Amino acid sequence: MTIDHSHQEMVDTSIDGNPTQGLIGALRVQYVFRRKTTKGHDRDGNPLVYALKEMNGYRMQPMYHQMLYKQADKILATFVGELDVDVLVDVPSSKPLCRKFATKVAHASGLPLVESTFLRKRTVGEVLDGIDANFPDFSKNQDKKMFSGVLGQLRRVKPEIDFQMKEVSKPMRRFFQPFTMSGEAPALEGQRIALIDDLVSSGTSIMSVAQCLSEQGAIVERGVCLLSDLNAVRR
């Protein structure tokens, strides 16, 4: 994987074209780089995230990492002063990319970063228990059938295994709550928080974290992501 700022085919990394923004529920999220949809397999900017996370066979040389983050720093500087929050919290991830990006946002903004070690993924059993206790209402039989199919697959998985959102089709992800508290949370009541993530796909993960923090009395209305969803718009 290489970075070339002279063209903006799969991901717009230009200064002029960024940042962009969008709404995820009630969260106003600003994106450093905008993903673009193009024709062909896997052509929506995801390979860049794969390379940054060293997943699915994608890799990127250190010089391209440096080029990308240098550009990210310039774009962050154009808007982090307008976040109007007290604290940053990263979305939990098994890969270091999100926390690395959160550290960059903290450095650019001067805001404190509270690492999300007090959150964890729910197990499959916990997710299923939550759904059984509060089964969603469906207006369309087709959606109910699709949801039942997802549940059927989950019930065949060992309940103690961590729930993986990527195993659920995007239209159904909004019905799942992947995160929960893992211990005593820091004092966040009344704190205005911006959530930091590396990539928005369905938005379920960032909204799940927002819900967990809101239940602790925090005010979560802002987000910052390295790469956008596919519906981001210019500021």
Tell me the C-alpha distance between 159 and 124, whole Å: 5
Which tens digits make up the pLDDT trace of 125-184? Answer: 999 999 999 999 998 999 999 999 999 999 999 999 999 888 898 889 989 999 999 878
Cα–Cα nearest to 200, from 78, 66, 24, 60: 24
Q: 3-state SS string over 198-224?
A: EECCCCHHHHHHHHHHHCCCCEEEEEE
Which pLDDT does position 42 carry in this prediction?
47
Cα(first)–Cα(last) distance of the chain, in Å?
29
Which tens digits make up the pLDDT trace of 19-46? Answer: 999 999 899 999 999 988 766 544 455 7
Residue type for position 46: N
Which pLDDT does position 41 carry in this prediction?
44
**Stretch 194-200: mean pLDDT:** 93
Q: What is the β-pairing status of strands 192-199 and 179-181?
A: unpaired
Which pLDDT does position 208 carry in this prediction?
93
Residue ranges of the chain assigned to CATH 3.40.50: 11-120+179-234
Whether 121 and 181 have beta carbons less than 8 Å apart is answered as no
Answer whether CATH 3.40.50 is correct for domain 11-120+179-234: yes
Q: 38-52, 97-111, 178-192: lowest mean pLDDT where?
A: 38-52
In eight-state DSSP terms, residue 190 is T
